[in-house]
Amino acid sequence: MTILVEKNVEQHASDGVTLRADVYRPDDDAAHPVLLCRTPYGKEGMLVAVEADAPLLTMVEHGYAVVVQDCRGTGASDGVFRVLDDEGDDGVDAVEWCAAQPWSTGRVGMFGGSIRLDHAVRRRVPCTRGVRVIAPSVAPAFFHGDLAYRGGAFVLATALEWSFDRAEDQRSRSTGQAPRYGASRALLDRAPLLPAPELDSPAGAHYATWLAHPDRDDYWDAYSYDGFYDRVTTPALHVAGWYDLFLGSTIANYEGLRDRAATTEARANQQLVIGPWSHANRLGRFADRSFGPAGMAPAGLHEQQLALFDCFLRDGAPPLAAPVRIFVMGRDEWRDEADWPLRDTDYRPLYLHGGARLAFDLPAGAGADDAGADSYEYDPRDPVPTLGGATLIAYELNEGPVDQRANDHRADVLRYVSDALTEPLEVTGPVRFVAHVSCSTPDTDLTATLSDVWPDGRAILLTDGILRLRYRDSPSAPRPMTPGEVAEVEVDLWATSNVFLPGHRIRLDVSSSSFPRYDRNPNTGGVIAEEGEERMRVAEVTLHRDAAHPSHLVLPVIPVRAG
- Cβ burial 447-463 (10 Å sphere, 16+ → b, else e): bbbbbbbbeeebbbbbb
Amino acid at 301: L
Domain edge (last residue) among 189, 213, 237: 213
Query: Which residue ranges in the chain fall short of pLDDT 50?
Result: 50-52, 118-123, 127
Query: Other CB atoms closer than 10 Å to residue 171's CB: what's the count?
Result: 18
Pairwise CA distance, residues 86 & 223, whole Å: 11
- Cβ burial 390-405 (10 Å sphere, 16+ → b, else e): bbbbbeeebbbbbbbb
Strand pairing category for 425-439 and 65-70: unpaired
Within this chain, do residues 162 and 226 fall inside the same structural domain, yes or no?
no
CATH classification of the domain holding 7: 3.40.50.1820
Asked whether 71 and 119 are in contact (CB, 8 A), the reply is: yes
Listing DSSP states for 358-425 in one string gives: EESSPP----TT--SEEEEEE-TTSPPBP-SBS---TTTT--BS-BGGGGTT-TT-EEEEEPPPSS-E
Within this chain, do residues 475 and 363 fall inside the same structural domain, yes or no?
yes
Asked whether 463 and 506 are in contact (CB, 8 A), the reply is: no
Pairwise CA distance, residues 464 & 433, whole Å: 10
Within this chain, do residues 92 and 118 fall inside the same structural domain, yes or no?
yes
Number of structural domains found in the chain: 3
CATH classification of the domain holding 398: 2.60.120.260
Q: Per the domain annotation, does 563 fall within a domain?
A: no
Instruction: Please tell me the predicted confidence (pLDDT) of residue 367.
Output: 58
Instruction: Please tell me the predicted confidence (pLDDT) of residue 535.
Output: 96
Give the structural domain span for 389.
346-558
Could you list the active site residues?
Answer: 114, 244, 279
Which residue, 397, 393, 522, 417, is CA-closest to 470?
522
Instruction: Please tell me the predicted confidence (pLDDT) of residue 299.
Output: 65
Instruction: Please tell me the predicted confidence (pLDDT) of residue 119.
Output: 43
Question: Residue 93: CB partners within 8 Å, gap ≥ 6?
Answer: 11, 12, 13, 14, 19
Domain edge (last residue) among 213, 232, 252: 213
Within this chain, do residues 201 and 273 fall inside the same structural domain, yes or no?
no
Within this chain, do residues 254 and 322 fall inside the same structural domain, yes or no?
yes
Pairwise CA distance, residues 343 & 556, whole Å: 11
Q: Which helix (H) or strand (E) holds 239?
A: strand 236-243
Pairwise CA distance, residues 155 & 148, whole Å: 5
